[in-house]
Amino acid sequence: MNYLIILLIVLGVIIVFLLIGINYLINERKRKDKVIADKERIIGEKIELIENSKEAHRKELLIHRDDAVKRSRSVLEGKISEQLVPYFPDFKYEPSDCKFLGSPIDFVVFKGLSTGVVEEVIFLEIKTGKSKLSSRETELKKAIEDKKITWEMHQINLKAEEKNGKET
């Protein structure tokens, strides 16, 4: 009978250890599940943050694209207008007196050229909207106003030149 009591006690101890082990495993599983759930929540928050960031970036990009298109359109309209302005009704010079350069100045007007007598040479810059002179245009304006203007002629000899006594 003593063996039976000892056997029951040993079985009871084994059962207690098994229950403690099972309880430990259950608690460990719950802890791991909680850690996984926390990590999944954090990952979800990060994904949401990234998605919100992407959407904000997309909206900002659209705004910048629209702005760039508007500015490009404005520049293009200005460039087209610059070339057509001599044909506008309120333009005060004869279109045939105007020679388009585009850069660094839009036109050189040879006032009277169409009648055969050049009375004046005018450097003409065309601006549209709120545009202002560029730094290069401002420098050119100052040079003209300071009368830093020179007439030169460059003669080109198209005939073959003699080099070392031989024709080439």
One domain for residues 53 and 99:
no
User: What value does the mean pLDDT take over residues 115-130?
Assistant: 91
Report the C-alpha gap between 62 and 27 in whole angstroms.
52
For residues 125 and 107, give the distance between their C-alpha atoms in angstroms, rounded to a whole number: 6
Question: In terms of domains, do 58 and 14 share one?
Answer: yes
Which are the contacts of 16, defined by CB distance < 8 A and separation ≥ 6? none
Tell me, what's the pLDDT at 160?
60
* Same domain assignment for residues 18 and 39: yes
Question: Is 97 within the bounds of a domain?
Answer: yes
Single residue among 46, 70, 91 that ends a domain in this structure: 91
User: Each residue of 139-160: pLDDT tens digit?
Assistant: 999 999 999 999 999 999 887 6
Q: Are residues 74 and 34 in the same domain?
A: yes
User: What was the pLDDT predicted at 165?
Assistant: 54
Give 42-88 pLDDT, tens digit per residue.
999 999 999 999 999 999 999 999 989 988 888 788 788 888 899 99
For 167, other C-beta atoms within 10 Å of its C-beta total 8
Does residue 156 sit within a domain?
no
For residue 82, what pLDDT is reported?
A: 83
Global confidence as pTM: 0.55
Residues 87, 105, single domain; the answer is no
Residue 96 pLDDT class (50, 70, 90 cuts): very high
End of a domain among 24, 56, 91? 91
SS3 label, residue 130 = coil
Q: How many domains does the structure of the chain reveal?
A: 2
Answer yes or no: are the C-beta atoms of 59 and 65 closer than 8 Å.
no
With respect to residue 106, please indicate whether it lies within any of the assigned structural domains.
yes
Helix H or strand E segment including 38: helix 2-84
Residue 15 has a pLDDT of 93
User: Which residues constitute the domain of residue 141?
Assistant: 92-145
Same domain, 6 and 58: yes
